Amino acid sequence: MKVLTLNFLTCAVKACKSTSTSFPLHPKDCELVSDTIEPNALLILNILPRIDWNALITTASELGFPTLPALPPTRDELESNEKMMSELHTLLLETQISEGSLVCGNCGHEYKIKEGIANFLLPNHLV
């Protein structure tokens, strides 16, 4: 599972969705792998406004990445800053969680990730 995807996901429990603590999900005991993916500046620029930047800061620090700036770059800044573009590319698209789990900060439910595929099916008592 990519870090980008993690930024789109929250707890599947309906009661959690409206709480601020359910997002982002917190990686736990995660194994990271890095894939080589061709740089795609257009994609990063399009993704930028859809990223929840504060959540990305949290995720990056929890996964042990260097601290991100407090505010997201603007489109123009990102276009002219090759280094930041490449760092975001590495973080969002190339970094993958292959094994581990994601924990909801509200209900504490753990979603397991196996071979890069996360399982968000809820047990009956949480549906």
Partner 1 sequence: MEYMIRFTQVHETFRLAEIHALAVLENMNLEILSYSPTSPFCFIKVPSEEAAIRLVRRSILAKSIYEVWGKGENYVEVHANVHNISSHLWPLYKDASFKFSFDAFQGSRTVTEQRKLIEGFHFLGFEGPIKMKGAEQDFCICEDWKFDAVGLGVLEPESIYLGRYLGGSERDIVGKYDLKKRKYICTTSMDAELALITANITLAAPGKLFYDPFVGSGSFPVAAAHFGALAFGSDIDGRSIRGKGKSNLLANFVQYGLTNQFGDSFVADLTNTPLRTARIFDGIVCDPPYGVREGLKVLGSRDSTKGKEVVFRDGKAHHEEDSYIPPKRPYSFLAMLDDILEFASISLVDHGRLSFWMPTANDQDQEIKIPQHPCLQITRSRRLITYRRIPDAEVVAGDARTERARENGVNADDLNPFRKGYFKGFKPILR
From CA 62, how far away is CA 94, in angstroms rounded?
17
Least distance to partner 1 from the beta carbon of 8, Å? 6
From CA 63, how far away is CA 42, in angstroms rounded?
26
Answer yes or no whether residue 40 interacts with partner 1 by CB under 8 A: yes
Answer yes or no whether residue 117 interacts with partner 1 by CB under 8 A: yes
Residue with tokens 């969680």: 97
Binding part of the chain for partner 1, among 7-15, 26-34, 61-69, 81-89 by CB under 8 A, reads: 7-15
For residue 102, list its beta bridge partners. Answer: 27, 111
For residue 28, list its beta bridge partners. Answer: 101
Which residues here bind partner 1, judged by CB under 8 A? 1-2, 4-5, 8-14, 17, 23, 35, 37-38, 40, 42-43, 45-47, 50, 52, 110-111, 115, 117-125, 127
